[in-house]
Amino acid sequence: MSNNYTTQDILTPLALTVIIDTKVRDPELTEFVVQAEGLLDLLIEGGSINSSDMIVWFKDNETDLTKRITNARKNTFVLTTLNRFKNDDIAIEAMYDAMLAISISDKEYHVDESDLIKSAASLWGYERPPFKVTGQH
């Protein structure tokens, strides 16, 4: 596939989906790896990295990403991160599906996670998200 995505471009929105609720759970991290593998294969030619390297990337970037989504420029950072895929229907659909899969993997509803998914849907041209994520209480 010919595009200019980097591993950072692909992994950042996925990592944001994991950490935005401030509770990194095993199911979300496991799903992060599964979804990252698929997206890297789809969007970056020869872009596969092994699962342990993905976990290392996540741990190395978690503190910085957490700071970026808790400061006053949070919206700009999220917008810039998601806008990287604008006008690429294949990437948008795959990224949206991956973020949704991560967000529901812990079977808990989180407002910040839901807002991130809704923002992605809106930015990427979905009038309504194709799925409704509901919480279990």
Q: What is the mean pLDDT of each run of 10 residues along the chain (137 residues)?
A: 80 94 83 95 85 94 94 92 92 94 84 86 74 51
Q: Say what the pLDDT of residue 4 is.
A: 87
Residue 130: inside a domain, yes or no? Answer: no
Q: Say what the pLDDT of residue 48 is.
A: 75
Residue 2: inside a domain, yes or no? Answer: no
Residue 1: inside a domain, yes or no? Answer: no
Q: Provide the domain count of the chain.
A: 1
Residue 87: inside a domain, yes or no? Answer: yes
Question: Residue 59 and residue 54: Cα distance in Å, rounded?
Answer: 9
Q: Say what the pLDDT of residue 132 is.
A: 53
Q: Say what the pLDDT of residue 137 is.
A: 45
Q: What backbone phi and psi angles, to 5 degrees, belong to 7?
A: -60, -40
Question: Residue 83 and residue 122: Cα distance in Å, rounded?
Answer: 11
Residue 132: inside a domain, yes or no? Answer: no
Q: Say what the pLDDT of residue 133 is.
A: 52
Residue 136: inside a domain, yes or no? Answer: no
Residue 47: inside a domain, yes or no? Answer: yes
Residue 134: inside a domain, yes or no? Answer: no
Q: DSSP labels for 29-69?
A: HHHHHHHHHHHHHHHSTT----HHHHHHHHHHHHHHHHHHT
Q: Which residues constitute the domain of residue 108?
A: 7-123
DSSP state of 113: H
